[in-house]
A and B are shown apart, each in its own frame.
Chain A
Amino acid sequence: MIVVAKTLFILLAVMLFFAPLLTWIERKQSAVMQDRIGANRADLFGMTFLGLLHPLADLIKLLAKENVVPAEANRFLHALAPILSAVPAVIAFAVIPYGSSYRFGDFEITLVAADIDWGVLYLLAIGSLATYGAVLAGWASRSNWSMLGAIRTTAQMISYEVTMGLSLVGVFMVFGSLRLTDIAAAQDTTFRLFGFLDLLPGLLPAGPGWLDGVRLPAWGLFLQPLAFVLFFTCILAENKRPPFDLPEADSELVAGYFTEYSGMRFGLFYMAEFVEVVVIAGVMTVLFLGGWSIPWLSQQTLIGGVGSLLGVGFATAFCMLLHVACFFAKVAFMIWLQMLIRWSFPRFRYDQLMDLCWKIILPLSLLNVFLTAGGILLAERVGGGG
C-alpha cells in the first residue's frame, strides 16, 4: 500500500507536473536567451496564463493527429519502438530516493519506491536498454533519414555508456555503496575543506584557526568534481539533446530516427526525452548534489532542534517536507542547467563526438579512479581528512 503511494507520488510529480511543464520551460527559456517573447498564443477565454496552456494544447493536438505508418515499414516494430523508448525513462525513477528515512513511533518510511542494493547499476542497465527504442524506430521506418539516425544512435549510445559507468567508479569508492539511499544519506554531512592539509604535517606552518571552521557539504560535487563533469557530459550525450543531438540533427536528417512518426507515437518520443531530462536531474542530484539533504543542516540536527521545541513527531514531518522540497529544488536547478546547455552550444561534429568520448573522457575517468583510490588510501593511512 505504502509502496503504491510512494510510486504514484514520484510518477505523478514527474509525469504530470515536470514533463509537461518542461515543454513550456524549454520554450520560455530559449525565448529569454534569444531575446524573444516565446509561447503566448494558446488561450482559454482570452486568458493565456503566460503561455502555460501550451502543454495542454500540444497534448490535444498530438492525441487528435492522424497516425501515419509508412507503407514499407515493419508495422509491429514501428509500433513497439516508441513504447520501448518511453518505458525505461519512466521506470528509472523506481530507485531514485526523494527523501530520507523517517521514524514516526514504530512506523518507519523511506521515501524511495524500490530501495535496492545495486541501484546505480540498475540505472545504468535501464539506460543501456533505452537505446533500443531509437534504434528500432530508425530501422522499422524504412526511411534513409531514420536509418542514418539509428546508426548514429547506436554508435553514440554504446560509446558513452562505457564512459558513463567508468566515470562513476570514483563516486562508488568515496561513498562505499551502490545503494542510492546510502549514497544520499552519506552526503547529509559536512567535511573540512582544508582537511587535506593534515596529510602534510610539518611541511606548512599551522594555518589560522578559522581554516578548520570552513566546512563544505560532503556532496559528490565537492568530493568528486571531475566525476561530476565527466558523468554529466556522458549522461547528456545519452539523452541525445543538443549539443549531442546527432541522431536527430534537424538540419541534416529532418528528425533522425523518428522522422516517420506522427501523432501520439511521436508524442511518446517527445515525452520520453523530457522525462529523461528529469531523470538526469534526479540522478545528478542524488549522486552529486546531496539528494534530499539540506546543506550544513543534517537530519539529526534538524529533528533534534525543532523536536525540542515542538515535539519529535511534528519535527519529523516538518523535516520530511523540507527534504522533499529540497530534493525537488535541486532537481529544478539541474533541469535549468540542462536547458542552459541545450540552448548555448552548437552541435558537435561526429568525429568530435567520438574524440570527446574515447580520447578525453575515458582517460580522464581512469585518472579519476586512480587519484580517488590514492586519496582514499592516503586518508586511511593518516586517519580522517577529506
Chain B
Amino acid sequence: MSFEALLFYAFGFLALFSALAMVCFVRHVVAGAMSLVVTMVSLAGIYVLLHAELVAVVQILVYAGAIVVLFLFVIMLLDLRDGGLGAPPRGQNLVKGVGVGGTVLIGAWLVASLSGVFAVEPLSAALPDGFGGHRAMGLALYGDKVLLVELSGLVLLAAIVGAVVLAMRGSE
C-alpha cells in the first residue's frame, strides 16, 4: 500500500469515526462540535490527497475556523451547561445516525449512478500544472461559472435579508 493510500485510509477512518462520535457517542454539544471540527480537518486532508489544495484550505478556513466557531458561540450564548443533551441515548442515536447517513448515502449513490458519474473513466494522465490551485479555481469560478457564483451570492443576500427581518421583528 502506497503512502498516499495509507494517508487516505487514516483520514477517511478519522472522518467517519469523528462524524459517528458527533452523532452517537458524545455527551455534550460542545464535544459534538469539537468532533465536527475533527471531521472537517480530516476531510481537508482527503482534499489535499485529491490535489484540491484550495478546497482543503477553504474547508479549514471556513468550516473548521468560522462555522463551527459560530456553533460554539451560539451554544455558549444559550449556556447549555448542565449536560446539554442529558444522558446519551446511545442506541437510539445510533439508529438515527445510521438511518439518516444510510439514506443520504443511497440517495447520493442513486443520483451519481443516474447522472453517469461512475461511467466516466478515471483520470490516468498526469494532472495539468497548478490543478486545484487558487489560480485554476479562480479562473474556473470567475470564468465560465461566473453566473453560478453570482447566483449563490444572491441566495446568501436573501438569507441575510431574512435574518435581518427576523431580528427586527423581535425588537419591535
Contact = CB atoms under 8 A, between A and B. Distances in A.
B145 interface: no
Interface string A136-179: 10110010000100110011011001000100000000000010
Interface stretch (A101-109, A127-135, A279-287, A354-362): A127-135
Interface string B69-82: 11011001101010
Interface in B87-135: 130, 133-134
A288 B30 CA distance: 39
Interface string B40-81: 000000000000011001101100111001101100110101
B67 to A, nearest CB: 9
Interface on chain A toward B: helix, strand, loop, or mixed SS?
helix
Contacts of B30: 77, 136, 139
A86 to B, nearest CB: 17
Interface string B6-31: 00000000000000000000001011
A117 interface: yes
B69 A117 contact: no
A151 B54 CA distance: 30
Contact of B133 (A118, A124, A161): A118
A132 B33 CA distance: 11
B70 A117 contact: no
B106 to A, nearest CB: 34
A151 B57 contact: no
A125 interface: yes
A1 B15 CA distance: 32
A122 interface: yes
Contacts of B130: 117
Contact of B76 (A118, A122, A131, A154): A154
Nearest to A129: B65
Interface string A258-287: 000000000000000000000000000000
Given A118-B54, A129-B65, A147-B79, 17 more contacts: A74-B28, A77-B31, A77-B34, A117-B134, A118-B134, A121-B54, A124-B61, A125-B61, A125-B65, A128-B66, A128-B69, A132-B69, A135-B69, A135-B76, A151-B76, A151-B77, A158-B69
Interface centre among A127, A132, A147 (most CB of B within 10 A): A132
Contacts of B69: 128, 131-132, 135, 154, 157-158
B65 A128 contact: yes
Interface on chain B toward A: helix, strand, loop, or mixed SS?
helix
A33 B61 CA distance: 38
Interface of A: 74, 77, 117-118, 121-122, 124-125, 127-129, 131-132, 135-136, 138-139, 142, 147, 150-151, 154-155, 157-158, 161, 165, 178
Given A117-B133, A118-B134, A139-B30, A125 B57 contact: yes
8 contacts: A117-B130, A118-B53, A118-B57, A125-B60, A132-B69, A136-B30, A151-B73, A151-B77
B72 A154 contact: yes
B64 A129 contact: yes
Contacts of B34: 77, 132, 136
Contacts of A142: 81
A127 B69 CA distance: 13
A147 B76 CA distance: 8
A147 B79 CA distance: 9
Contacts of A155: 73
Contacts of A158: 66, 69-70, 73
Contacts of B70: 154, 158
B37 A132 contact: yes
Contacts of A150: 76
Contacts of B66: 128, 158, 161
Contacts of B60: 125, 128-129
Contacts of B64: 128-129
Nearest to A131: B69
A268 B133 CA distance: 35
Contacts of B37: 132
Contacts of A165: 61
A360 B64 CA distance: 27
A321 B54 CA distance: 34
A-B pairs, top 10 by smallest CB distance, nearest first, are A128-B65, A154-B73, A125-B60, A125-B61, A121-B57, A151-B76, A131-B69, A125-B57, A135-B72, A128-B61
A347 to B, nearest CB: 21
Nearest to A178: B134
A152 to B, nearest CB: 10
A232 to B, nearest CB: 20
A258 to B, nearest CB: 16
